Structure 1
Amino acid sequence: MTRIGIDLGTTNTLCSYWPPGAKRPQLIPIPQPIGPKEKVDSLKLLPSAVYVESEQTVFAGRWVKLDSRTASEQKPYFLSMKKRMGTTYVREVNGLTITPEWVAACLLQVVRKSAENYLGKAIDEVVITVPASFSTEQRAATLEAAKLAGLPRSGLKLVDEPTAALCHALNEQGHELLSEGQHKQYIMMIDIGGGTFDVSIVQVIRNAEETLDITLLGCSRYNEMAGDDFDLYIAAFLLNRMEQQRGFDYSELTHNEAADLAAVTLYRAEEAKQKLSKLARESVSSPLRYNRDLMEKIQVPVEISAMGPLEAENYRDQLTVKDLGLALKRFLPDLLNRHKNREDKLYSYTIAKPIEEAMESVRQSSEAFAVFDYMDLHEVLLTGGSAHIPLLEMAINQIVARPPRTLTDTMESVALGASVFGAWVAGEHGELVHLHERINDSVFLQLPDGRFEEVLSKNNVIPLKNYPCPTRSLKIGGEGIYKQVELRLFLGQSAQDPFMAPMTTSHILTFPEPIPSGTPINIHCSVGPDRCFHFTFTARLAEGSEIKAKAKVVQDRTAQGLAHLPQVNLTRL
């Protein structure tokens, strides 16, 4: 059995493999272009950037990302497309209809070929990580992209990124990660990546046999804030200071000048963020010990080449920890006025939002957790590429009322944890871990009057097989007899959820014989470990017999387009 773990990230994609007899997994190097003239090198990180030259020639990796930030002309680059997975986003390029799933398939195909070449054999099983906040549609889109990339259909598994990171931490630190003498513990996992700020809360039970039961209790839903967004605000901060020092108005630049300057500044902003995070980590023993002097003392240089309004000479500046705090002020809640700010719309877009969403998700899971509070947490663990950003750790400490612990290998922990998770589920490498997950969103039926009725609770632990959904209102309405009925199912937190999302356009039920009006319809649901739903519908006749309906799913653009995507031939890689 050849198994790999893949962290299909918004910013970077990584691949891991656990060699037989080894104590820990390792990363598989991925060949990719790193410069012009087809210069190729093998790197641990594959930037999730794709350039489509033609249907048969696609570039992916480091050089694509660098070129996209410094190119003087608009080209068909695709970056950070993970955020759009499972949506109706499309873009026409050279006669091709490009979707986020198509881009993800390109990246996964590069990873698959790299792993097969590195290991010298075909891949039998793949574990792909996804944000805990990913919806059912986004998870289904990820699986379709994996199949499109040629990964084995029968050996595909999905696991939440925070869960994978926790598996990596447990494998590295063993039971030392857990508090001594504690039979049951609650751990908050915060994964701050390039595209998502993902929060999960898990319950870990240490059994007498030294086995571990891990249960996902709750997770955040809001994932529109992460490293990419931080880069944008840092770039805006630098541009604003550049305007003041060089005496020009960015809004008055030509389109090309503005685009070029913004692209280069964004690249330098990301670079400065990474360097400043590394320098701060080396300079301060604890992120909770920042003071005014340190915040102004820790700094990194920023230089932007002469262009447009900067033709005279290069722009040079210094970015301090204090500057970083000012640039990211939008994401850091005013904790002194916390309760007041909860009524402010802007407060709902700070890092406090996904953290409090995860806590509320736990409270709603059952009556036993109705008063679950931050003081009930035993550990708060940070991981992800943006976990070391100065001041974020301090802000998280103030929100959760305890100092977070940043994991080692923050950039690699999710990818390595994917291999750990796959091995443990298969009963390999000696560790006995049982993972229990539950549905993040309830399933609702839309009634004729527009109201919603819950048919499957989010509190159900998965996997579920042929689970009978309680329905009181699902009957064939109108008058007469019918052979076809249309149903609409939605996902949401409650019947009043303003962000209720349709699972598909509709389900068309066709019965083998006419059904009279008023006939009740029973729904049975199966949910696999990947949290993808499968429904069966039966009509219960007056005499007690049942007739099973043939359900046709009328899918949206994304699902229809995937079936017709061309196979990508990465000839020049």
Structure 2
Amino acid sequence: MINWTGLFGPTLEKPRKRVVALGIDLGTTYTTVTRTEWSGVPGDTPTLDVVPIRQWTTAGLDSVPIVPSVVAVTNSGSVVVGLEATESALNGELSPIPGKNYFAATKNEIGLRRQYPRAPHGLQSPVDIAAHILKFVLAGVRESFPDDVWDRVVVTVPASFQLGQRADTVEAATRAGLSVLPNDLLDEPVAALLTRMATAPTTQGTHRVAVVDFGGGTCDVALLEHTQRAHGGVDLEFRGTSRYCRLGGSDLDRAIAVEHLLPRLAKANGVNASDWDYAGKAAVLIPSLAPVAEDLKIKLSGAMRRRVRLGQPYSDLVVHGSSDFAVTLRGATYHLDHSQISLSTAEFDRILGPYLDAERLKPRFGEYFEQGSVFAPLLEVLERTGWSSESLDELLLAGGSSALPPVADALANQLGVSVSYVIAPERQERQTEVGIGAGLQALALAISGAPLARAMSGEHLQMLAADGKWHDLIPANQPLPFPEGPVDYLSGSVSGSITSADEGLKVQLRKGPLTVFTEEVPLPAGTSIGDVFTVRTTMDTNQLVTLEIEFSNRHRHTFQIERPGTYVSNPNVIREKILELEAVVSDPDIEPDDLWKARYDLSELYTRVGHHDKAVASAEYVTKKAASASQIFDAGYVKAAALTARGQFDDAVATYEAAIDDGAIGLRFTLAYMLEERGRYTEALNQIERYLPVNPGGAAHALRGLILKGLGRDDDAESAFRVARTNLGDPATATSFERFWLTVVAKQLGDTALLTKLKASRLTAQDVDDTRGALPVLSLGVK
């Protein structure tokens, strides 16, 4: 039951024309559309419908409001969306190959320059996939409401989405035929909060709430302060937004598939799971097992909730698969009888454990699924914002994955605060809760142009002047956008004057107590002390600040700052680089040398993030294609590193030896170092003594000293360390590599004076100059 009066107040008392609006939850796993309508007649109650979308299934046509966010290309070449796409992967109409003919959870890759070059034209990027899904659901809405003209459409995004991700979402909506502006994007936690407020009793005063939206593909946390306006609507301030946390129910499904079902499949068919290579597992086995895993997870979660409602424990539950399973990989068919497909509470707890570990906050970017704690984004943003769990009025859970009883239990126990749901987990419409909030926001915009949830600027955004005082660029608690209406040369501006003609203008901003921006702006030619400039500042409803500095000669500099004062860290840099390189190596026109370099870089990056199977596959390519001496060296190194990370040390040694035989003599040092680390001192000594005649440098003598010490030859070791000390030279001019080995030598010889010099040299090497420039003289306040 929607509390229309509490939300809209007198807005519904003024006559106007009929309005129709849509709210679209473009989710990672599912997409829903909520249609809202008001006749425009005072006294009439608006209507809200979550629109059923007609979809093909194996049982025929079915109209359901939940559309899987999946696009597939069948063996016949047809492009299908939703249930038809997911079922085509199960009924043999296609062998799903992610990025080629099967596209699921691609929202995780939107805005990250991901490409799918093996896909058909029109399906080669996350934007293409999102546009296909939007076109599909909009066609379903038109089928149900053929006479509609939509006055406003709102599309939801994770609160942690950055500019590029938001821009790509708008682009997808545009390609689908919608007229969506950046201000028509609504953060998913805000949409969930609106749904909660629409279905709960009206509250007075200001409330602090943490919304944890743990869905199919992301875990999104927003700290919000909201105040119910006296005449309807909500004033809303973002106080903190979590980093982009690519973690959701689809990762749980794949974790169950990889850690639980894949070993069972191997054992039942008399094979070793390690014999299946990365491509076979990633492209065939795991995508085929993931729906089975999801089925088990849903069954077990439902059984748990039934026990909870009855006040009974659920630790003894076991659920079973719905049918037998078979999958074909390279001509071999592997079977699992339905009696072998099961999941117990204990088995699920083991898999779920890392996701609910409040101590293990660092995510693990696995090859086949993400593994990280749901506490990571929540505790990080609470700490950064300065909030404690005791300061929260409510911890609100949204998203399908938060319906798992162990999730709510873990959050409540760790934080010591009661949790509530936007919509109770047992209610079927729970998967529509974000879309409902979007529909309500869209209706408010369609009726009055004013949103239900009105973003506020929060604390002052200020600029530092030469006198040490801070001057407002944006005053505290301003309705957004700021300023309202068009920006001219007076609104939202501060004037200043130059204090030095010899260095640039230092621009330093803070929001509340937090410095959010520092940069030196170069001065135009001919600038003199006392010359004036103007700073114009705007903040849009997505809290994007645009800062324009105009000098007296009309020369301008423009900066943009996303959500200053709000904690949002960027997506993992290594992951973004991997996505970029994966697109590069898929380019059919790439030059061979460029391809070799990209595959080499990928192998290194895969090893760093723990994608060992991928790392070895890329390393084998660069080893096979290595031509020059430097490539043979690099290929041997990167392949051995990948094999070592995967636990195949003997294979890594063999790789080093093969590269050395091919002329990569420098790898003897690396091999000796690896052998010494593992206590294989005799083998290590053999390698380093064969290396020293080629390169008798200080590092080699230092390593020889470590090896001799490991063999118990302490006098010989000391002699080697003293030779190394002489050869390595002065710490002040040493490279970082040389400083490392100088530190080893100093510790082994007990040379405290050398250690002191090394510390000083490191401090000098790591010094980073503060942003240069001269602070300006500023006028008071905002004009």
State the TM-score, normalized to the length of structure 1: 0.73
Q: CA deviation at 1:10?
A: 0.6
Return the alpha-carbon distance in structure 1 between the equivalents of residues 229 and 321 of structure 2: 52
Look up the SS of the partner of 2:235 in the other structure: strand
User: Which is worse superposed, 255-264 or 380-389?
Assistant: 255-264
Q: CA deviation at 1:539?
A: 2.5
Return closer, same or farther for 1:97/1:206 CA change in 2, 3 Å cut-off. closer
Q: CA deviation at 1:215?
A: 2.7
Return the alpha-carbon distance in structure 2 between the equivalents of residues 458 and 266 of structure 1: 51
Return closer, same or farther for 1:243/1:534 CA change in 2, 3 Å cut-off. same
What is aligned with 2:200? Answer: 173
Look up the SS of the partner of 1:284 in the other structure: helix
User: Which is worse superposed, 521-530 or 10-19?
Assistant: 521-530
What is aligned with 1:295? Answer: 315
Return the alpha-carbon distance in structure 2 between the equivalents of residues 304 and 150 of structure 1: 43
Look up the SS of the partner of 2:326 in the other structure: coil
Unmatched segments (≥5 aa) in structure 1: 364-371, 445-454, 480-486, 488-492, 501-506, 559-573
Alignment of 1:12 with 2:30, yes or no, is yes
Return closer, same or farther for 1:94/1:410 CA change in 2, 3 Å cut-off. closer
Q: CA deviation at 1:241?
A: 4.0
Q: CA deviation at 1:151?
A: 0.6
Alpha carbons 2:395, 2:420 under 8 Å: kept: yes
The correspondence for 1:232, drawn from 237, 254, 257, is 254
Look up the SS of the partner of 2:28 in the other structure: coil
Alpha carbons 1:219, 1:358 under 8 Å: kept: yes
Alpha carbons 2:295, 2:321 under 8 Å: kept: no
What is aligned with 1:251? Answer: 274
Q: CA deviation at 1:153?
A: 4.4
Q: Kindly provide the amino acid, as one letter, of the partner of residue 414 in structure 1.
A: V
- Bigger-Rg structure (1/2): 2
Runs of 4+ in 1 over 6 A off after TM superposition: 344-348, 455-460, 469-479, 493-497, 517-521
What is aligned with 1:435? Answer: 454
Write 1 or 2 for the structure with the bigger share of helix. 2
Alignment of 1:319 with 2:346, yes or no, is no
Cα offsets for 1:375-406 (capped at 9, x unmatched):
11121121112121131111111232123112
Look up the SS of the partner of 1:328 in the other structure: helix
Look up the SS of the partner of 1:381 in the other structure: strand
Look up the SS of the partner of 1:111 in the other structure: helix
Q: Kindly provide the amino acid, as one letter, of the partner of residue 284 in structure 1.
A: V
Return closer, same or farther for 1:427/1:251 CA change in 2, 3 Å cut-off. same
What is aligned with 1:84? Answer: 109
Alpha carbons 1:188, 1:200 under 8 Å: kept: yes
Structure of higher RCO (CA pairs closer than 8 Å, 6+ residues apart): 1
Cα offsets for 1:79-133 (capped at 9, x unmatched):
1111111121112234557221121111122222322332222322101111111
What is aligned with 2:688? Answer: none
Alignment of 1:528 with 2:552, yes or no, is no
What is aligned with 1:538? Answer: 550
Alignment of 1:392 with 2:407, yes or no, is yes
Look up the SS of the partner of 1:174 in the other structure: coil
Q: Kindly provide the amino acid, as one letter, of the partner of residue 30 in structure 1.
A: I
Alpha carbons 1:276, 1:300 under 8 Å: kept: no
Look up the SS of the partner of 2:178 in the other structure: coil
User: Which is worse superposed, 417-426 or 9-18?
Assistant: 417-426
Look up the SS of the partner of 1:278 in the other structure: helix
Q: CA deviation at 1:470?
A: 9.8
Return closer, same or farther for 1:151/1:325 CA change in 2, 3 Å cut-off. same
Cα offsets for 1:222-279 (capped at 9, x unmatched):
3211111111111123223444555421221377864433222111011211222222
Percent identical across equivalent pairs?
Answer: 23
Alpha carbons 2:170, 2:182 under 8 Å: kept: no
The correspondence for 1:403, drawn from 408, 412, 418, is 418
Return closer, same or farther for 1:240/1:23 CA change in 2, 3 Å cut-off. farther
Return the alpha-carbon distance in structure 2 between the equivalents of residues 248 and 476 of structure 1: 75
Look up the SS of the partner of 1:205 in the other structure: strand
Alignment of 1:360 with 2:379, yes or no, is no
Return closer, same or farther for 1:115/1:183 CA change in 2, 3 Å cut-off. same
The correspondence for 1:197, drawn from 219, 232, 240, is 219
Alpha carbons 2:89, 2:288 under 8 Å: kept: no
Alpha carbons 1:222, 1:353 under 8 Å: kept: no
User: Which is worse superposed, 416-425 or 250-259?
Assistant: 250-259
Cα offsets for 1:354-384 (capped at 9, x unmatched):
1113313432xxxxxxxx2101112112111
Alignment of 1:373 with 2:400, yes or no, is no
What is aligned with 1:416? Answer: 436
Alignment of 1:42 with 2:100, yes or no, is no
What is aligned with 1:490? Answer: none
The correspondence for 2:177, drawn from 150, 160, 185, is 150
Cα offsets for 1:429-482 (capped at 9, x unmatched):
xx9955224599x999xxxxxxxxxx9999986322354589999999999xxx
Alignment of 1:32 with 2:55, yes or no, is yes
User: Which is worse superposed, 532-541 or 465-474?
Assistant: 465-474
Alpha carbons 2:89, 2:95 under 8 Å: kept: no
User: Which is worse superposed, 307-316 or 9-18?
Assistant: 307-316
Return the alpha-carbon distance in structure 1 between the equivalents of residues 212 and 247 of structure 2: 13
Return the alpha-carbon distance in structure 1 between the equivalents of residues 501 and 135 of structure 2: 46
Q: Kindly provide the amino acid, as one letter, of the partner of residue 50 in structure 1.
A: V
- What are the equivalent positions in structure 2 for 1:278-293 lying under 5 Å apart? 278-285=302-309, 291=313
Alignment of 1:349 with 2:372, yes or no, is yes
Cα offsets for 1:43-70 (capped at 9, x unmatched):
211211123589x964221111233466
Look up the SS of the partner of 2:414 in the other structure: helix
User: Which is worse superposed, 140-149 or 6-15?
Assistant: 140-149
Look up the SS of the partner of 1:217 in the other structure: strand
What is aligned with 1:63? Answer: 84
What is aligned with 1:483? Answer: none
Unmatched segments (≥5 aa) in structure 2: 1-18, 39-43, 366-370, 424-428, 464-471, 508-512, 560-575, 580-783
Return the alpha-carbon distance in structure 1 between the equivalents of residues 139 and 289 of structure 2: 34
Return closer, same or farther for 1:434/1:85 CA change in 2, 3 Å cut-off. closer
Look up the SS of the partner of 1:91 in the other structure: coil
Return the alpha-carbon distance in structure 2 between the equivalents of residues 138 and 101 of structure 1: 10
Cα offsets for 1:15-42 (capped at 9, x unmatched):
0112334465211122333349xx5443
Return closer, same or farther for 1:522/1:420 CA change in 2, 3 Å cut-off. same
The correspondence for 1:187, drawn from 209, 216, 219, is 209
What is aligned with 1:449? Answer: none
What is aligned with 1:464? Answer: 482
Alpha carbons 1:476, 1:520 under 8 Å: kept: no
Return the alpha-carbon distance in structure 2 between the equivalents of residues 148 and 111 of structure 1: 13
Return closer, same or farther for 1:528/1:268 CA change in 2, 3 Å cut-off. same
Alpha carbons 1:475, 1:517 under 8 Å: kept: no
Return the alpha-carbon distance in structure 1 between the equivalents of residues 454 and 161 of structure 2: 18
Return the alpha-carbon distance in structure 1 between the equivalents of residues 24 and 552 of structure 2: 45
Return closer, same or farther for 1:459/1:276 CA change in 2, 3 Å cut-off. farther
Return the alpha-carbon distance in structure 1 between the equivalents of residues 352 and 234 of structure 2: 39
What is aligned with 1:450? Answer: none
Return the alpha-carbon distance in structure 2 between the equivalents of residues 211 and 313 of structure 1: 55
Q: Kindly provide the amino acid, as one letter, of the partner of residue 168 in structure 1.
A: T
- What are the equivalent positions in structure 2 for 1:110-149 lying under 5 Å apart? 110-119=136-145, 120-149=147-176
Equivalent pairs counted in the alignment come to 494
State the TM-score, normalized to the length of structure 2: 0.55
Return the alpha-carbon distance in structure 1 between the equivalents of residues 269 and 78 of structure 2: 42
Return closer, same or farther for 1:312/1:30 CA change in 2, 3 Å cut-off. closer
Alpha carbons 2:211, 2:222 under 8 Å: kept: yes
Alpha carbons 1:48, 1:107 under 8 Å: kept: yes
Return the alpha-carbon distance in structure 1 between the equivalents of residues 301 and 326 of structure 2: 26
Alpha carbons 2:154, 2:180 under 8 Å: kept: no
